[in-house]
Structure 1
Amino acid sequence: MDSLKKLNTETVKWKSIKNDGLNLEYAIAIPRDVADELFVEFENCLQYFTGDLAKVKVFGKVYPLPRQQVAYGNPGITYKYSGTTIPALPWPVPVLALKDFLFKIKGINYDFVLVNKYRNGHDHMGEHQDNEPELDATYPIASISFGEVRTFILKHKDARKTGNEKKQIPTVKLELEHGSILLMNPPTNEVWYHSLPTRKKITGARINFTFRKMKTI
C-alpha cells in the first residue's frame, strides 16, 4: 500500500463529461504497475458475501447475484437495495488505503464502499439508479476500477420512457480502465440510469469499488 501513498495526485488529468443532468469526472489516476499490485492484493484478501447476501430480488423473485459482492464501512452502517440489507464490514487495510487515496485526491472522507467483482464478461449489473434514501446525494459517488476494461453505459431517464414522453437523448458509454476513477457528481444519479452489460468475450476479472457518503443521523 506504500506505492499508493506515494502517488502524486496533483498530476492526475481529469476528463469532464457533461450533458442534460449528467456531470462526470474520469481519470486514470493509478499507474498500471501500482494498479497491478493492488489487483493481486484484492484478489488475495477480499472475501465476498455468500448465502442470502449473494442474492437479489427483482420484481418479487429472488435470483443469484450476477457478480460477487461485499461491503465495508464505518461501524453501524447498512445499505439497502432491491429488498436486501447489506451490512458494512470493518475496513480491511488495502481498502482503507483506497479510501485514504480518495480523500487525498478529492478531499472527501467516504464512509462506505460497495465492492463488486465481475469474474468474467458474463457477470454484469442491470440498469439502475443509486438513489437509495440513506445516501447523501450532495456528494459524488466515486468508482475505482481494477482489472479488465468494461463498458459503463448511462441512459437519461426520459430516454427510457415510451410514447410521446420519450426523449431522443443519446446514451453515454465509457470504457472503465484499469486504475481509473469515475466520479458521478450530483445530480447525475437523479437523472441518469447506469449499467454494466455483459461482454461474453471477456474472460478476465474486474473488481470495482464504489465509495459512497452516507447520511448522518
Structure 2
Amino acid sequence: MDKFLVRGALKLTPEKRKHQPEEEDADCTNKKNETEEKRPTLPVAILDEPRRMHANPWREIRAEGLNCSYTILFGKAKADGLFQELEKDVEYFKGELTKLQVFGKWHNIPRRQVTYGDSGLTYTYSGVTFSPKPWIPVLERIRDQVQLATSHTFNFVLINRYKDGHDHMGEHRDDERELAPRSPIASVSFGARRDFVFRHGASRGRRALCRIEPVRLQLEHGSLLMMNFPTNRYWYHSLPSRKKVLAPRINLTFRNVMAA
C-alpha cells in the first residue's frame, strides 16, 4: 500500500465511508464564508472491497469530487505475456496524428499513441480527431477481462506507449463530448511502474480557489484504475516525467464513445 498511495491517506470503514462528500460538495467554488486561511483540505480515503468475478480486492479512492477504484487485474506472468503481445501487435500512429494542440500551438506528443475501437466512431481531443483502427485479438482479450471485472462495456481504447521516464503526459481532463455521460474510464497499465497524479481544478495555479491536496498514485504492472463519475468533471490527471525510470510502459484507457 505504501508504494501505491501517498502518505497521509485514511482507511475508512463502510460506515464512515457514507459520510464522504457527495457530488454537490465537490466544487469548492460554491462554498460560502470561507477565508484564505480556512479553505478546506480533504484527505484521501481508501477502502478494500472484494467484488464478484474478480479475485483481487479493489481499493476505492475518494477525495472531494474524486471517485476511483484500483486493483491488480493481471498477475505478473499474464501481464508479462500481454505486454509482449502489445509490443508486437499494436501499430502506433505516424505523421500528423503524432501532434497535439496546446494553447493554439502544435507540439509533438511526448509518447507514442494510437486508438482502436468499433467502426464508425470518432474521438477528438487537443485539436485532433481520431478514427479508431479495428480491434485486434490482444486488445479484445484485455477489453473483455476489464468488462468482466467491472460490469461496464467499452467500445474504444486509447493506447499510450512511454519508452522510458522521459515520455510523459501533461495535466488534462478526459471530458470530451463524445464520451457517454457519466461513463467511467478504465485505465490498464503494463510495464514500468509510473507515478500518476490527480489535481483538483480549483487547486491549480497561483490564484487557486481551494487548497485540496493532490492525489498521487503508483500504477503497477497489470493494474486497472477505474476513473468513475464525477472524477473528470473536477480533477485533472497527469503522468509526470521520471528520469530514473528506464523501462517502457504501455497504458490502455478503455472508454464508451457515442456514435456521431
Normalised to the residue count of structure 1, the TM-score between the two structures is 0.93
Is 1:148 aligned to 2:192, yes or no?
Answer: yes
**3-state SS of paired residue (1:34):** helix
Q: Identify the residue that residue 180 of structure 1 maps to in structure 2.
A: 223
Is 1:114 aligned to 2:114, yes or no?
Answer: no
**Residues 16-73 of structure 1, C-alpha deviations (whole Å, 9 max, x = no match):** 0111100010001110000001101111111100000011111121111100001001
Q: Identify the residue that residue 124 of structure 2 maps to in structure 1.
A: 80
| 8 Å CA contact retained: 1:152, 1:197 | yes
Aligned counterparts of 2:198 and 2:186: Cα–Cα separation in 1: 15
In the TM superposition, structure 1's runs of 4+ consecutive aligned residues that sit over 3 Å from their partners are none
Larger Rg: 2
The number of residue pairs the alignment matches comes to: 209
| 8 Å CA contact retained: 1:143, 1:208 | yes
1:1-217 alignment, distance < 5 Å: 9-163=53-207, 166-216=209-259
**Residues 187-207 of structure 1, C-alpha deviations (whole Å, 9 max, x = no match):** 000010000000011111000
Quote the RMSD (CA, aligned, Å).
1.2
Normalised to the residue count of structure 2, the TM-score between the two structures is 0.78
| Offset, 1:82 | 0.8
**Residues 136-176 of structure 1, C-alpha deviations (whole Å, 9 max, x = no match):** 1311100000000000000001101543x521100000000
| 8 Å CA contact retained: 1:9, 1:29 | no
| 8 Å CA contact retained: 1:120, 1:204 | yes
Q: Identify the residue that residue 19 of structure 2 maps to in structure 1.
A: none
| 8 Å CA contact retained: 1:67, 1:116 | yes
| Unaligned segments of structure 1, at least 5 residues | 1-7
Aligned counterparts of 1:216 and 1:9: Cα–Cα separation in 2: 30
Aligned counterparts of 2:170 and 2:181: Cα–Cα separation in 1: 21
Bigger mean CA offset, 112-121 vs 51-60: 51-60
Aligned counterparts of 2:121 and 2:129: Cα–Cα separation in 1: 10
